Structure 1
């Protein structure tokens, strides 16, 4: 028969909790810092939220249909850029001109253009995001409209995020600084 012996534990639950408490505090501090950075960085600008979105739907997923879709998107972008609308309600008046421009590059495929509310998923833009919502949008359907969707916000970077903005902005970038580092530098000179 085995002899019974006492098991000696290395501390009770309170001591273990006190040993783990600094780690928990550190993790909470990191979480709070991350939340503060997210809040301070903000979301996408109000103009991006209020901008009219464009959805171009291709006839199919073939390479030729995707090229036609890209051409239609470029034409729609060009017409909207030339119109320089300050108010989204003026888009309805541009639909006939948009229709003609899109049909000119669609390769004979019919083009339908509708303006109204549509559901958009959340989208990252310029270090923030545009939350999901039903927004006014311009839906351009090429042919049967069975291709993948193509979404973009207008008036900032219409089709390819960053490419247009990078070409237009050739300014010096401000160096990135961190609040905590700057604060510590100011404390210790």
Structure 2
């Protein structure tokens, strides 16, 4: 293939890649959290294995209950009212869970504007700021935190590290079509680069 034909091939490939991107098959920089949302943030007492286990245990129990409360709600006003009216129930859940695992840590449950550091989810950066949230602080609250979005219900996503959190621990998430397409495009690009190197070497 002459140089002109090679250039035409490369142009055609990049047109195809751009078409896939714009059609939504490849989704980068997509904002996951809507502007109107209620978050949940849980602060562990410390970063010890024991304290992080306590945090995760409380996370699972609180998520299960709150997700049921807001599952059928369609507005942030309704969700705000339901969550605020059930703060005592959230406290009871945390207290019961601490008792079950034999922890004597103190805790607090509040609802309001909560400070969040800058977070990265996929290719989208969520800036630091004060966001409406339920804040559960365990003990000193000096350990790594976990957070998600209660409304709209997005607590199957772990925004603290960008990983999907399965409802069942033995469920393996299949790679999405977007990931497969992106991987396919990367392989094509790598192959073309190697091919060009061979031609001009």
Task: State the TM-score, normalized to the length of structure 2.
Answer: 0.56
Conservation of the 8 A alpha-carbon contact between 2:29 and 2:122:
no
Tell me by how many angstroms 1:102 deviates: 1.0
Over aligned residues, Cα RMSD in angstroms?
Answer: 3.3
Alignment partner of 1:152 is 2:153: no
Partner of 2:12: none
Candidates 22, 38, 44, aligned match of 1:52: 38
Tell me by how many angstroms 1:143 deviates: 2.4
Conservation of the 8 A alpha-carbon contact between 1:51 and 1:153:
no
Q: 5 Å matches for 1:124-135?
A: 124-135=120-131
Q: 5 Å matches for 1:111-122?
A: 111-122=107-118
Partner of 1:83: 69
Conservation of the 8 A alpha-carbon contact between 2:115 and 2:128:
yes
Conservation of the 8 A alpha-carbon contact between 2:157 and 2:164:
no
Conservation of the 8 A alpha-carbon contact between 1:55 and 1:149:
no
Partner of 2:195: none
Task: State the TM-score, normalized to the length of structure 1.
Answer: 0.59
Q: 1:131 to 1:104 in 2, by over 3 A?
A: same
Number of residue pairs matched by the alignment = 141
Secondary structure at the counterpart of residue 165 of structure 2:
helix
Conservation of the 8 A alpha-carbon contact between 2:40 and 2:148:
yes
Q: 1:91 to 1:50 in 2, by over 3 A?
A: same
Conservation of the 8 A alpha-carbon contact between 1:121 and 1:132:
yes
Write the distance in 1 (CA, Å) between the matches of 2:39 and 2:110: 12
User: Where do 5+ consecutive residues of structure 2 fail to align?
Assistant: 1-17, 189-201
User: Where do 5+ consecutive residues of structure 1 fail to align?
Assistant: 1-32, 182-189
Secondary structure at the counterpart of residue 109 of structure 1:
coil
Tell me by how many angstroms 1:168 deviates: 9.0
